[in-house]
Structure 1
Amino acid sequence: MVSDAPVQVAADGARSCRYSIVCGGRVMGGLELKVESSAPQTGHVHFPAHGRSDQDANHSASVVTAAERLLRDWGCTTVRVRAPRREAEELLAKLGYRSVSRIMVKELGTRPDLPPSVGARTLTQEEFEAFVRAAQAQYALSFVGRGFPLAEAEKIARSATTSLLPNGLATQGVALRCLVEQEEVVGRLWVADSGPAPEPGAYVYDVEVAEGRRGRGFGRALMLHAEQIAWDWGCRRMGLNVFEGNTVAERLYASLGYRTTLHSIARDL
């Protein structure tokens, strides 16, 4: 790998660097290494979403092994790779990576309608605070499942929420909504006009159906409302992340036309 520029180090300690993958004098692709300030022990390797040829994809294991050496020098003890399916499958088979999640994307067509039995409104301040607490707890648990201590996982979750919602309900480019049936809140939604998916477009950060109301189509209605919001913003693409093992959500998104573009996999260094 050949660095395209010096390592970029931010004031908060985050760092990143882009590399070209060169073999026999030919540039075969590229990747980016990143470390976030909220979790400096975790290194991130990002392959481009479009992938590479089958022949080039076969070199993924050797490329990631080289990336791991660099991340160890940065002080990382865990590596997380975001890659298209071919690269991810090779790393799962050859280097012992485990699946974590996947990014799914949908090209939006016409503006959808909600079922006539439900409506939507903005969260109240009290509802927003409860929703953020629940979202932070769920996000922290995803890190605990990857081996992080609970206190550290909770710190990461709080930092992520603060950076994404610096002004709470008034944060620009964000919609925090609830789904209502007969004046009862049956679900909540957090969508933004951009996100971590590599393709530009709106992004669903969280969707939650109330306990006791699941299995009744409210998850689908929430996703349709997210698409309405994106459409009204002028976005024609929607992305989201689904964690490994959440087959109910994955099937819902697939039935709505979402397709997997990237897999996120991880292992300890």
Structure 2
Amino acid sequence: MELREATPEEFAAWEGDWIARLGANTGPVDNRKRAARAPVYTLEAVGEAVGTMALALLPIRGGEGHELILSDVHITPAVRRRGHGRAALEAAVRWGRENGARSLNVGYAGGDEATEALFGGMKLIAQHMDIDLGERRELPAEITVEPLRGEAYDVWHVHSVTEYARITAEAGFGTYEEAYRSSVEQFAELLPQGTDTPGHSLEQLIVDGEQVSSIWVRHGYEPGTSFVFDVESSEKHRGKGYGRAAMWHGENISKAAGDGRLMLNVHGHNTVAINLYVKLGYRVVRRYRGIDLTA
């Protein structure tokens, strides 16, 4: 399998098809801008064009070197089931190593059996999950809810920046030092006004005057969709259902903000959280997998 840069005509044909396929899974987001950032290559087998692949070599945020992002691989329907998908993935790995990438990362829609068969052997880094918001959830009577402000916000911020860096590094995104720098940058970008940043809810659940869990939600992340950036139970109160209560509260405040869907990201190694979200009715929207190209 060989890669060559797509002609303008090939790019235009791929772009329209990809936007339609991606939009069917992500909803009404501006996928045209996303497509414009992805260099596209035509896949050729024995001189015959058999599909397209979108590859982008990008600097690793907060770290050194580059990562190769495989945004899309699409085999022409008439020549499928001939091993071209597997050959295309092998070509992408080879291209990444030749161009100095430290890793190859791919994202794809959940529920697609053919795509899962192609990428399922790669390490699961993270997945997006979502739920349609229904009736208001009633929290246990002993729980009260307060905004994260003052000292409570400061303690939460220090802990969350550090914890996100740890989880990110454990998921395979560089060293802890790289992940920490990236975490600091991302929190600063997302919360420039701290707890008063418009469109964000940062709240804590209290029992007997003590914080038992907290949640951070961005409303209008996509049209009609809120996004959970962080949810956590206090260490001494884990296993008591307060994480579930925090998620229920996140659903309530998202619906009150006018959104009809709540989405979240969970790292692949966090099986406890994944199992909780499945029990709560969340479904996989998109999976992200990766390969270490330095090994």
Q: When the two structures are superposed, what TM-score results if normalisation uses the length of structure 2?
A: 0.72
The reply on whether 1:165 has 2:186 as its aligned counterpart is: no
The one-letter amino acid paired with 2:37 is: S
TM-superposed CA distance for 1:169, in Å, is 1.1
State the SS of the aligned residue for 2:38. Answer: strand
* Contact residue 60 and residue 90 of structure 1 kept, 8 A: yes
Tell me the C-alpha RMSD between the 2 structures. Answer: 3.3
In structure 2, what is the equivalent of residue 106 of structure 1?
131
Distance 1:225 1:208, change over 3 A: same
Q: Secondary structure at the match of 2:237?
A: coil
The 4+ residue runs of structure 1 with deviation greater than 6 A are: 20-26
Match of 2:23? none
Distance 1:68 1:231, change over 3 A: same
- Is the aligned partner of 1:205 residue 2:233? no
Q: State, as a whole percentage, how many aligned pairs show the same letter.
A: 26
- Displacement of 1:33: 3.8
The residue that corresponds to 1:179 in the other structure is 205
Matching residue's letter, 1:98: K
CA distance 1:120–1:170, shift in 2 (3 Å): same
Q: Secondary structure at the match of 2:272?
A: helix
Distance 2:68 2:141 in 1: 46
3-state DSSP of counterpart to 1:17: coil
Q: Could you tell me which residue of structure 1 aligns to residue 119 of structure 2? A: 91
For residues 52-100 of structure 1, give each alpha carbon's deviation from its aligned partner in whole angstroms, at most 9, with x where no partner exists.
98x589754344445456656775321221113532442243xxx2111
Distance in structure 2 (CA, Å) of the matches to 1:21 and 1:224: 46
- Distance between the aligned counterparts of 1:56 and 1:168, measured in 2? 52
Q: 1:203-230: CA deviations, max 9, x gaps?
A: 1111110111111111111001100111
**Counterpart-to-counterpart distance in 2, 1:58 and 1:202:** 39
Cα 1:142/1:121, change in 2 over 3 Å: same
Give the match for residue 35 of structure 1.
Answer: 58
CA distance in 2, matches of 1:131, 1:158: 13
**Any stretches of 5+ residues in structure 1 without a counterpart?**
6-14
Q: Which residue of 2 aligns with 1:150?
A: 176
More helix by share: 2
Number of residue pairs matched by the alignment: 250
CA distance in 2, matches of 1:34, 1:106: 33
- Runs of 5+ in structure 2 lacking a partner? 13-35
SS in 1 for 2:281: coil
Contact 1:144–1:153 (Cα < 8 Å) also in 2: yes
Per-residue CA deviations over 1:163-216 (Å, capped at 9, x if unaligned) read 211221121111111001122111111111145xx8861111111101111111
1:193 paired with 2:219, answer yes
Does residue 128 in structure 1 map to residue 153 in structure 2? yes
Q: CA deviation at 1:149?
A: 2.4
Q: Secondary structure at the match of 2:206?
A: strand
Q: What is the TM-score of this pair, normalised by structure 1?
A: 0.78
Paired letter, 2:286: L
